[in-house]
Amino acid sequence: MLRRVLVIAALVAATTLALPGSPAQARFCQIDYYCYLTFYSDSSHTSVVGEQYTNCVGDVSMWGVRSGYPEFVETPC
C-alpha cells in the first residue's frame, strides 16, 4: 500500500514538473482608468517588444508581442 502511494506521488510530481508553465497574464484595467501595459524583452526592461493601451471607455489597442516581462501603469480618467 505504501509503495502504491509513493508511486502515485512520484507520477504526480513528474507530471507537474513536465508541464510547461503558463505565460505571464496581463492585469485588467479598472473601470474609469486608462492603462498602459508595456512588454519588454528581458528582466532589465531595456527593449520594448510590445504595448497594450486601454482607454477610459475600455477600448483596447495593441502592437508587438507579449512577453513574460510586463510593466503595468494605471491612471484615473
* pLDDT tens digits, 20-45: 555 555 557 888 899 999 999 998 88
pLDDT of residue 47: 92
- The string over 23-53, giving b where at least 16 C-beta atoms fall within 10 Å of a residue's C-beta and e elsewhere, is eeeeeebeeebbbebbbbeeeeeeeeebebe
The 10s digit of each residue's pLDDT in 39-64 is 999 988 889 999 999 998 888 999 99
Pick 18 or 51 by higher pLDDT.
51
Cα–Cα distance measured from residue 6 to residue 68, given in angstroms and rounded to the nearest whole number: 35
CB-based contacts of 10, cutoff 8 Å, min separation 6 = none
Total domains in the fold of the chain: 1
Amino acid 58: pLDDT: 85
Residue 58: which domain range? Answer: 2-76
Region 56-74 average pLDDT: 91
Nine cell digits for residue 39: 512588454
Q: Is the pLDDT of residue 5 over 70?
A: no
Q: 54 exposed, middle or buried (CB, 10 Å; 0-12, 13-18, 19+)?
A: buried
The SS3 assignment for 20 reads: coil
